[in-house]
Chains A and B, each alone.
Chain A
Amino acid sequence: MKPIPAYIIIAVFAVIMVFGSIYVYNNEDGSYEASAEINGDGTVTYSLSGPDSVFTYSVFANTKLPEKLFLYCDDSYKSDLNDRYTQREFLTVLQQLLERRGMASEFADADDLVDIMGHSDYAVFFVSGALPDTVYDGKADGDSLFVRWLSEGGTVYWTGPEMGRYVSTQNSIIDYGTGFFGGDVLISDENYEFAHIESDMFRYTQIRYDDCKYGLRADRADSQPLSYISDGGYSSVSVAKVLGGNVTVFGGNLATTNIVFQVLLDRTCCADMLICGLTYESQGLDHGEGTVKGSLSASTDVDVSSASGRMFLIIVGNPASNWSKAMDLSGE
């Protein structure tokens, strides 16, 4: 009696392994293409091609993409607030996600920030939870380089404890008690605080990020929640006007999030948000969703011709996005 069942099982298993490994490692470069252009009647015609998937699209007004994006990480600076390896790993992954979505970014250390903050059209992403002493002195109303840069319109993406409260040096972390947001930040002893009420902008942003620890109050002046709001009124992702600049605050700390089921979802949400340059003045103009099977071309219904700073965002995939692209429609 030959071991026929074992032969068949091993053969089928081998086929599945080969098939699966090819698929797993065949998604390196992103296999979607998209374009969008505004029509004479103010609607938008967009096209999308690639593997079958669900997608959503949104049209925003008053967006502003930074000229350059820098990811702050300095191993020589004290950072007790979260693990250094985690910071670098998070930023490396974010960089890859952004690259896949057509947005370039560069790593920057504490000294680099001095030069970077000479350009108000640059943006910096911080996961360190503390600003380095090369650019900030712990006084939100002071005259540090960071304060001046923000006043001139700099853009910050922030995650972790309240921006401006902690200053890091090469030897220590100094707690100044408060930062740029005062009492508008959710301080909690819990590891996570979750929000689940969809904000008005959620429909357009589709940012499914729900940790609102360290999040801003949803009703804070000159700010708008982009994702979920908690029962207590705190936002998981907000973009706020701080001095003259744009500060986007992600609740919790994206780098240390280790909810197994949501790590990638959180990170792709972050990347999708970054590429479309939302500001505290941005508005959602139109939103739709569909399924791409090979390729499609369609038009939106809403006339967006009168808006300025128009951006068309298309996000493919679910639960986490597999790919996204933001297309500037302003023609400026």
Chain B
Amino acid sequence: MTEHSALAEKFDRMKHPFAVLMIIGLAIRLIIAPLFTFNIDLGYWAEVIDVFQNGFGLYGTAGYYYTPIWGYYLGSIASFMEFFGITDYGVFIPELTRFVYSDFSVSSFVTSIEFNFLVKFPLILVDAATGWLIYHLVFKYSENRNKALLAFALWFFCPIVITESTFHGTFDNMSVMLLLASIVLMMDRRYTLAGAAFSAAALTKFFPMFMIFFLVAYVLRKEGLDIRGVKCVLKAIAGAVGAFLLIYLPDIIRGDFWQSLFFITSRIGITRETLASIGPGTTIAIIAAIAIIIGIIAFVVAKYGNRFKERMYAMDDRERNLKAAKALAISAAAAIILVAVVMVIRALLKTEGPAFGGSELVLLVSVFSIFLEIYLAFRLLMLKEMDTEKVFTIMFLSGIAIILWTCAASYTIVMIPFICIYAAMIDNRFVKPFIIFSILYAITEIASFLLSPTSMIIHIFDMDISVILPMYELLADPVILGISGAMILTLLVGWPGYISMLYISFKWYREYYERWKA
């Protein structure tokens, strides 16, 4: 472990470093938030509010595609605005509609300054709350204030984090906050609450689901691979189910549960029509199947867990890990081939389901990620000692394994806390690669940055859209071979970002794998 001594000295000289960093980070965000906006989502959020203001709840008509948590958040914002008499959501600009269907999509609704601010302000607080959790976690397990401050600063001043909450107004950070809360509670043995927080995290955005293996393995490793450990996992599951029912109750009553999964199912080609046709019988059958599977796994682990552990421990570490890696690699390859074959058949038959195409490759990579997560969970489960460094290293690896594909900057948010924690707590040599990654990846949003003054131009300077329309034309209209300027720009700056993201895994592998194996 190394110290980032220059930074540590700076922190030591500060009187209230956490407060100072917090205030500076908040100030930056609060200045930017009302003025600069990516209108793609903000315009959409305004329309979502219209959906429930028209009496359709969240899923009564097309227009809202996420799980309910973000809808409820927007409901809170709308009620706040209504309570304080804030009625100006923005203006519809028909000149922008023609860009909506370009490969660089925009919204034709340019939101008002107050709307921008009110939607983003709680998201900014979510950034701060997540930073607080990171600080708490690192401080608790390293007992080193400087490491905790460094982890907090890396998160709070990360350009991607600032971009997504403050410019973009999207809610990936909320999911990350809940995931971290779940980890903090789990490490503190508050399993029911940890399960509830995890459920809320995965229901906000799907990505935290990938870490379920890490969480279950952690509980079983800590409490034992026996009836005691199983009871603790079941407590967490009870918490998760409880939170799920509380969050979903209105939608279950209205029969909208399956519709609420459209955003996820659309990625594998399942339409709204199919979702609408799923009746109570199928739902009950699915719930029963899940309960039976969990029951069988719980029974097997409670009865044979210790025997399995002893058998594993009896093996040489290296041999055991290699066997597990081989078994999972074969399973992963089989699963990927199976999914790919299903995609091709369905594409040929043109039936509903995942079609084989460029973006569907993400699904195949995600299948690989799942097996990687299982392998990491296995390694955690097989730890002979609950060594903080090893646990946090596995947590870091589990975090970065969630996303291995090129994705929008907002999606990378889910892995960022784990890199920050690892870089600050375990190995400072990851600080620089992280900073490079966070800058390069934030730059992938360059096209949106260029258009981000639109709200300001329309609502503060009271100018016509024609002032910035040439920029829209430059970015959204096809330039070469039907590809928009924004897409070309993103491709140019996207690869360095993606490589810098992969480099973090590569660096860890290169520098530590030999030692880790030993």
Instruction: Give A residues with C-beta under 8 Å from B.
Output: 1-10, 13, 16-17, 19-25, 27-30, 51-54, 85, 89, 93, 96-97, 100, 191-192, 194-196, 208, 210-211, 228, 258-265, 267-268, 291, 293, 317-320, 322-323
Complex Cα spacing A191 to B71, Å: 30
Q: Report B-chain residues with C-beta under 8 Å of the C-beta of A319.
A: 43, 46-47, 50, 89-92, 109
Whether A261 lies near B43 (C-beta < 8 A) is yes
Among A2, A20, A318, the residue within 8 A (CB) of B89 is: A318
A10-B193, A27-B54, A51-B82 known; A265 and B92 CB under 8 Å? yes
Interface residue SS majority, chain B: helix
B253 CB, min distance to chain A CBs, angstroms: 9
Whether B52 lies near A24 (C-beta < 8 A) is yes
A and B contact pairs by CB, cutoff 8 A, 19 listed: A3-B185, A5-B133, A5-B181, A6-B136, A6-B197, A16-B76, A24-B68, A27-B54, A52-B82, A53-B87, A85-B276, A208-B92, A264-B63, A318-B87, A318-B91, A319-B90, A319-B109, A320-B54, A322-B53
Residue of A nearest to B100 (CB): A259
Whether B181 lies near A29 (C-beta < 8 A) is no
Q: Report B-chain residues with C-beta under 8 Å of the C-beta of A9.
A: 129, 133, 177-178, 181
A52-B87, A96-B55, A293-B85 known; A89 and B62 CB under 8 Å? yes
Q: Report A-chain residues with C-beta under 8 Å of the C-beta of B133.
A: 5-6, 9
B169 CB, min distance to chain A CBs, angstroms: 14
Interface residues as binary, B106-139 with A (CB distance below 8 Å gives 1, 0 otherwise): 0111000000000000100000010011001001
Q: Report A-chain residues with C-beta under 8 Å of the C-beta of B47.
A: 261-265, 319-320
Among A10, A23, A93, A317, the residue within 8 A (CB) of B56 is: A93
Whether A100 lies near B54 (C-beta < 8 A) is yes
Interface residues as binary, B19-63 with A (CB distance below 8 Å gives 1, 0 otherwise): 000000000000000000000000110110011111111101111
Complex Cα spacing A23 to B246, Å: 16
Whether B52 lies near A27 (C-beta < 8 A) is yes
- Interface size for B (C-beta < 8 A) is 70
Complex Cα spacing A322 to B276, Å: 25
Whether A195 lies near B94 (C-beta < 8 A) is yes
Complex Cα spacing A185 to B506, Å: 59
Counting CB contacts under 8 A, is B151 at the interface? no
Instruction: Give B residues with C-beta under 8 Å from A.
Output: 43-44, 46-47, 50-58, 60-63, 65, 68-69, 71-79, 82, 85-92, 94-95, 97-98, 100-101, 107-109, 122, 129, 132-133, 136, 139-140, 177-178, 181, 184-185, 188, 190, 193, 196-197, 200, 246-247, 250, 273, 276
Q: Report B-chain residues with C-beta under 8 Å of the C-beta of A259.
A: 97, 100-101
Complex Cα spacing A264 to B52, Å: 10
Complex Cα spacing A109 to B506, Å: 63
A100-B55, A320-B54 known; A267 and B61 CB under 8 Å? yes
Q: Report B-chain residues with C-beta under 8 Å of the C-beta of A323.
A: 54
Whether B54 lies near A194 (C-beta < 8 A) is no
Complex Cα spacing A294 to B447, Å: 42
A21-B250, A24-B72, A89-B62 known; A10 and B82 CB under 8 Å? no
> Which of B73, B92, B95: most chain A CB closer than 10 A?
B92
Whether B101 lies near A24 (C-beta < 8 A) is no
Q: Which 4 A-B pairs have the closest CB atoms?
A: A20-B72, A20-B75, A196-B94, A20-B76
> Which of A192, A291, A319: most chain B CB closer than 10 A?
A319
Q: Report A-chain residues with C-beta under 8 Å of the C-beta of B73.
A: 16-17, 20
Complex Cα spacing A195 to B52, Å: 28
Whether A29 lies near B55 (C-beta < 8 A) is yes
A194-B94, A261-B107, A264-B54 known; A21 and B72 CB under 8 Å? yes
Q: Report B-chain residues with C-beta under 8 Å of the C-beta of A29.
A: 55
Residue of A nearest to B70 (CB): A20
Residue of A nearest to B109 (CB): A319
A20-B79, A208-B94 known; A5 and B132 CB under 8 Å? yes
Whether B76 lies near A210 (C-beta < 8 A) is no
Q: Report A-chain residues with C-beta under 8 Å of the C-beta of B184.
A: 3, 5-6
Whether B88 lies near A21 (C-beta < 8 A) is no
A202 CB, min distance to chain B CBs, angstroms: 10
Q: Report B-chain residues with C-beta under 8 Å of the C-beta of A320.
A: 47, 50, 54
Complex Cα spacing A8 to B136, Å: 13
Whether B92 lies near A196 (C-beta < 8 A) is no
Complex Cα spacing A27 to B56, Å: 8
Q: Report B-chain residues with C-beta under 8 Å of the C-beta of A28.
A: 55, 57
Complex Cα spacing A21 to B70, Å: 10
Complex Cα spacing A7 to B91, Å: 40
Q: Report A-chain residues with C-beta under 8 Å of the C-beta of B246.
A: 17
Among B54, B75, B178, B250, the residue within 8 A (CB) of A268 is: B54
Q: Report B-chain residues with C-beta under 8 Å of the C-beta of A7.
A: 193
Q: Report A-chain residues with C-beta under 8 Å of the C-beta of B78.
A: 23
Whether A5 lies near B129 (C-beta < 8 A) is yes
Residue of A nearest to B194 (CB): A6
Q: Report B-chain residues with C-beta under 8 Å of the C-beta of A2.
A: 188
Whether B60 lies near A262 (C-beta < 8 A) is no
Whether A19 lies near B54 (C-beta < 8 A) is no
Whether B196 lies near A54 (C-beta < 8 A) is no
Residue of B nearest to A211 (CB): B97
Whether A6 lies near B185 (C-beta < 8 A) is yes
Complex Cα spacing A93 to B344, Å: 36
Complex Cα spacing A22 to B227, Å: 40
A156 CB, min distance to chain B CBs, angstroms: 24
Residue of A nearest to B200 (CB): A13
Complex Cα spacing A19 to B47, Å: 19
Q: Report A-chain residues with C-beta under 8 Å of the C-beta of B50.
A: 264-265, 268, 317, 319-320, 322
> Which of A3, A260, A267, A291: most chain B CB closer than 10 A?
A3
Q: Report A-chain residues with C-beta under 8 Å of the C-beta of B109.
A: 261, 265, 319
